[in-house]
């Protein structure tokens, strides 16, 4: 009987030890889940912060590019305006030159006609 009592006491001690281990494992599991949740929350917060920083940097870059594009457009427009003014001046000069050439050509023809006429008169006088 003593043997049965000892076995029962050992079995009871093992059951208590087993419950203690299960309790400790459950507590450790709970702590681990809590730590994992905290780490996950921290990571989410860091990812959100990084995403916000990237968005802000992208917006700054986009704004800077827009400003540079506007400045570039203004410079290009200014240059085109200057070219248009130069071409307008060249057109005026070309038109005036054409008018002068036409005038000189008509005068040259008039003088040639007079010279032919005078040459005929000289021939008829001789």
| Domains in the chain: boundaries | 1-90
Mean pLDDT score, 79-84: 97
Residue among 110, 108, 115 nearest 123 (CA): 115
User: What span, in angstroms and rounded, lies between the C-alpha atoms of 111 and 101?
Assistant: 15
* Residue range 33-62, pLDDT digits in tens: 999 999 999 999 999 999 999 999 999 999
User: What span, in angstroms and rounded, lies between the C-alpha atoms of 21 and 51?
Assistant: 44
DSSP assignment of 52-102, as one string?
HHHHHHHHHHHHHHHHHHHHHHHHHHHHHHHHHHHHHHHHHHHHHHHHHHH
Specify the length of the chain in residues: 126
Tokens of 83: 């070219």
Tokens of 85: 């003014």
* Residue range 101-125, pLDDT digits in tens: 999 999 999 999 999 999 998 888 8
pLDDT of residue 57: 98
User: What span, in angstroms and rounded, lies between the C-alpha atoms of 5 and 7?
Assistant: 5
Burial string for 74-102 (b: 16+ CB within 10 Å, else e) reads eeeeeeeeeeeeeeeeeeeeeeeeeeeee
- Average pLDDT for the chain: 95
User: What span, in angstroms and rounded, lies between the C-alpha atoms of 3 and 9?
Assistant: 10
pLDDT of residue 78: 98
pLDDT of residue 123: 86
Does residue 126 carry a pLDDT above 80? no
């Amino acid at each position: 009987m003593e043997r049965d009592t000892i076995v029962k006491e050992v079995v009871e001690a093992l059951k208590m030890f087993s419950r203690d281990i299960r309790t400790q494992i459950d507590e450790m599991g709970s702590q681990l889940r809590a730590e994992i949740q905290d780490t996950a929350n921290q990571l989410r917060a860091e990812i959100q912060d990084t995403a916000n920083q990237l968005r802000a940097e992208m917006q700054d870059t986009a704004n800077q590019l827009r400003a540079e594009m506007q400045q570039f457009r203004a410079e290009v427009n200014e240059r085109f305006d200057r070219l248009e003014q130069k071409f307008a001046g060249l057109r005026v000069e070309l038109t005036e030159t054409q008018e002068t050439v036409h005038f000189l050509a008509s005068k040259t023809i008039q003088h040639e006609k007079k010279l032919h006429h005078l040459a005929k008169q000289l021939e008829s006088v001789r």
